[in-house]
A and B are shown apart, each in its own frame.
Chain A
């Protein structure tokens, strides 16, 4: 092989390497954007496995939040009913505590979703991945 030919090859190689790294970087940026979008949208669209996992965790999240709300309401209603029975102030106990129970349920949901911090917690611990 002649020197000129080798030089030419090397030059081409260098340019192709530069082009390759530039392309890799572009791809990386593109991937990052897609990932960010997917994360924002709540369902990654790159593979069906990831999608299924996201659906499962969305299901888990929905379940978690609804159970929090229902728990608040049920406990409020239960306490109201007991107060009515014991103190004989029917129906005021039920009315007041059912409403308070709704408020507690909404508070639970907001706390569980990490929208507000708990009474004794900083934001970081509450937002733990408990889905």
Chain B
């Protein structure tokens, strides 16, 4: 039996919607899962906050923990002024978290394992940072690229390096989430494939198959951790970048 670990990332067209230039825009499984993610997240959070009790129930506790967690992250890395971006960061965090966790369910599709999705999110953050930075600070935002106390002679090179470093942010921001999810899911699939291959190799293979099976169980736990951690990392990096827009050169 042949196991194809890449097959799970295949985009399937469900029905075509319209044409954009020469590209056909279709409703895909990726789009379907994004709707599921948004729907589930909205359902959970709206459901959790309809009955606002002083003593929170289970659902309300989850919502409150989420709020506290993201609010603390925003306050600690972007300051109290960063709280005006709280809805933005919270939305990103919840979207990525739900995408990662729903992707862990067998036979489901992981939206965040598609580079285009993570790049879109990272570019959104990047343009929000640039736009807000220029809107709030004007040209003083460019001070971000001019470190203090650098000799005039090497300043052009330093500024060029700083600009490149700034431009490389969306790349590392998006690639990190994408690659973590992709690598994790491929690893899971490969080990799961070992179970099938060994299991079909007779009685001795069945005993051998327990080893990759244990591995898959452990990897699933690890992936759950990674799913949460990467959502958190995405949120905290967003906060750090927003902090640059809020207070450049301080």
Contacts and interface: CB of A to CB of B under 8 A. Distances in A.
Interface of A: 52-53, 56-57, 60, 63-64, 67-68, 70-72, 74-76, 79, 97, 100-101, 103-105, 107-108, 111, 118-121, 125-126, 128-131
A103 B172 contact: no
Interface of B: 76-77, 144-147, 157, 160-162, 164-165, 167-169, 171-172, 175-176, 179-180, 218, 222, 225-226, 229, 232-233, 236-237, 240, 243-244, 247-250
The 4 closest A-B pairs by CB, nearest first: A71-B172, A104-B164, A71-B171, A75-B168
A104 B145 contact: no
10 contacts: A56-B225, A56-B226, A67-B176, A67-B179, A70-B172, A70-B175, A108-B172, A119-B248, A125-B243, A130-B237
B180 to A, nearest CB: 6
A70 B168 CA distance: 9
A120 B249 contact: yes
Contacts, number: 105
Interface SS of chain A: helix
Contact of A75 (B146, B167, B250): B167
Contacts of B167: 75, 79
Contacts of A74: 168, 171
Contact of A107 (B165, B171, B222, B247): B165
A119 B144 contact: yes
A74 B160 CA distance: 15
A125 B225 contact: no
Contacts of B250: 120
A103 B161 contact: yes
Given A118-B244, A119-B144, A100 B226 contact: no
A120 B233 contact: no
A79 B172 CA distance: 16
Nearest to A121: B243
A95 to B, nearest CB: 14
Given A70-B175, A71-B171, A105-B168, 19 more contacts: A60-B180, A70-B172, A72-B165, A76-B164, A100-B161, A101-B168, A104-B161, A104-B164, A118-B240, A119-B146, A120-B144, A120-B247, A120-B250, A121-B240, A121-B243, A121-B244, A128-B76, A129-B236, A130-B233
A101 B164 contact: yes
A72 B229 contact: no
B243 A72 contact: no
A41 B218 CA distance: 24
Contacts of A72: 164-165, 168, 172
Contacts of A107: 161-162, 165
